[in-house]
Amino acid sequence: MDDDKNVLGDWNESGQEELDQKSAKKLVWRTRLSITLTVIKTLLLILLVYIAYTIPVSIFYDFNKQAGFDRLVSTVIETHYPGVEVNNASGGSDAEINPLLTQSTTLKLYREIGDWDVVIGEVSAEKQLFGELDYSLQLDEKYLNQSGLKGFVIPNELLGRGETYVKPNASEPVRSQLEKIDGGNVIQVQFSIKKAMSPKALLKELDNYNISVLNMPVYGGEITEVEVPYSQAGQFTFASTLILNPATRYDENNRPSSWISPLSMQTIERSVDQFYENINWMVNEGGYYASDIDRKRLEYIQENGIKVFGATVTGPIREVEKLLRKEEFHQFRLNGIEVWNWEA
């Protein structure tokens, strides 16, 4: 009898233990399920909040700020790098903004060579909410150790060093290149002039040639009035300057509304007016590394007027070659050559 009680007791304890284990397992699974559902609900809530936040931000950006960022990038590039243009005249925009309000874009870079628009790379840019514009140029360099973009020689007279140059024309390498190239090609070259002049005066000098004038470097008090990095090679002084381009006008949403090309006696006044407007807009928009320097340059130019000291031009090779005969033009650089495409 006692044995029967002991067996029954052991059975009851064993059954209770199994029941407790089953209950414990159910509790564990219920807890896991509850936690999983809570996590899923939390993630869904975060997703909804993210969507509710990003959609209005993106819509607002697309309608109000997107074109403005592209305009800032293209204006900075085109007013600081001679002979380079940004594909920002199509009316569309690739600028984006992320949830942290960082703006970014990638735009094609090209050169006008004859009547070709030749892609030479792209610019990638981004700007954080409270940061400066950060950009990089990725150029399609054809040759190993290619030196890339180059500036103009600032005339000695602007630097208070007189007007004398030991060499009448330091362009023999380019002259030798052009002599060996067939006439059925178009080229782009840039050159400096030994004495600064007004844009109209330089255009008058170039008006007798079958070429297009793409842009001109503008002296903004560099070195003498405005502290900027510069380099010297013998008698020649190089420094980055602002560039006068053919006028591109923008609407109230910063989208290109009209543009003219090239620089000419008929378009120069509109281009000069747009130059002032673009530089003023650019420095007031701010947020790029040289904005303070450009503000000082603009003040200098407004006070002293526009003086240019070179040009970037394009046209048939034999026509451009004639420019090398002019003693006041020097430091020619060949920026590109393509097969014939010219209607002017």
Give me the amino acid identity at 316.
P
Cα pseudo-dihedral 193, 197, 199, 204, rounded to 10:
-80
Nearest to 79 by CA among 343, 322, 281: 281
CA distance 160 to 140: 38
| Residue 51 confidence (pLDDT) | 65
**Domain locations along the chain:** 149-339
Q: Is the pLDDT of residue 268 over 80?
A: yes
Q: Is the pLDDT of residue 47 over 50?
A: yes
Q: Is the pLDDT of residue 3 over 70?
A: no
Give CA 3 to chain center in angstroms. 95
Nearest to 239 by CA among 148, 150, 160: 150
Q: Is the pLDDT of residue 150 over 90?
A: no
CA distance 193 to 4: 120
Nearest to 245 by CA among 280, 214, 206, 283: 214
| Residue 88 confidence (pLDDT) | 72
Task: Give the residue with greater pLDDT, 40 vs 167.
Answer: 40
Judge contact between 88 and 71, C-beta under 8 A: yes
Strands 256-259 and 116-127, bridge-based pairing: unpaired
Return mean pLDDT, the chain. Answer: 85
CA distance 61 to 96: 8
* Separation in Å, CA 33 to CA 15, 19, 38, 289, 291: 27, 21, 8, 54, 57
* Other CB atoms within 10 A of residue 266 CB: 9
Q: Is the pLDDT of residue 133 over 90?
A: yes
Strand, coil or helix: what is 216?
strand
